[in-house]
């Protein structure tokens, strides 16, 4: 994770700290959702993956929590928290790409 952060060169959007803390609290519950089988929906669309991560203090590693994947194959997480987190992240994505 640290090596990924070191590769960043700019900030394009800032999230309110309290909002962020509220949202990251949902990742643990999202990790309990069932993950659907991949559903083929498109060709040559690539993929966009929305994920969260849970840090394990004992092993000093992160566990990836799939919230949703869209593109050639769609994969859904059944938890209501993952739907909420996906919609929140997607709204941020929209704002970032529509800033003038």
Q: What is the pLDDT of residue 100?
A: 55
Q: How many domains does the chain have?
A: 1
| Mean pLDDT calculated for residue range 9-20 | 88
pTM of this prediction?
A: 0.83
Enclosing domain of residue 80 = 2-97
- At 23-71, the pLDDT tens digits run 999 999 999 999 999 999 999 999 999 999 999 999 999 999 999 999 9
Which residue would you say has higher pLDDT here, 8 or 82?
82
Question: Locate tokens 């566990």: which residue?
Answer: 63
DSSP-assigned letters across all residues of 16-28: -HHHHHHHHTTHH
Angle at 94 between CA 93 and CA 99, to 5 degrees: 105
Q: What is the pLDDT of residue 29?
A: 96
Average pLDDT, the chain: 92
**CA distance linking residue 59 with residue 46, whole number of Å:** 33
DSSP β-ladder status, 61-71 and 73-76: antiparallel
Number of H helices, E strands in the chain: 4, 4
Q: What is the pLDDT of residue 99?
A: 65
């Amino acid at each position: 994770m640290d090596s990924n952060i070191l590769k960043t060169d700019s900030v394009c959007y800032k999230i309110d700290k309290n909002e962020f803390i509220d949202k990251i609290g949902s990742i643990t519950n999202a990790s309990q959702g069932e993950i659907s089988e991949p559903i083929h929906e498109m060709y040559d669309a690539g993929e966009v993956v929305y994920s969260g991560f849970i840090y394990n203090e004992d092993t000093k590693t992160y566990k990836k929590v799939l919230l949703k994947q869209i593109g050639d194959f769609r994969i859904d997480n059944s938890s209501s928290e993952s739907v909420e987190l996906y919609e929140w992240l997607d709204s941020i994505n929209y704002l970032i790409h529509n800033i003038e």
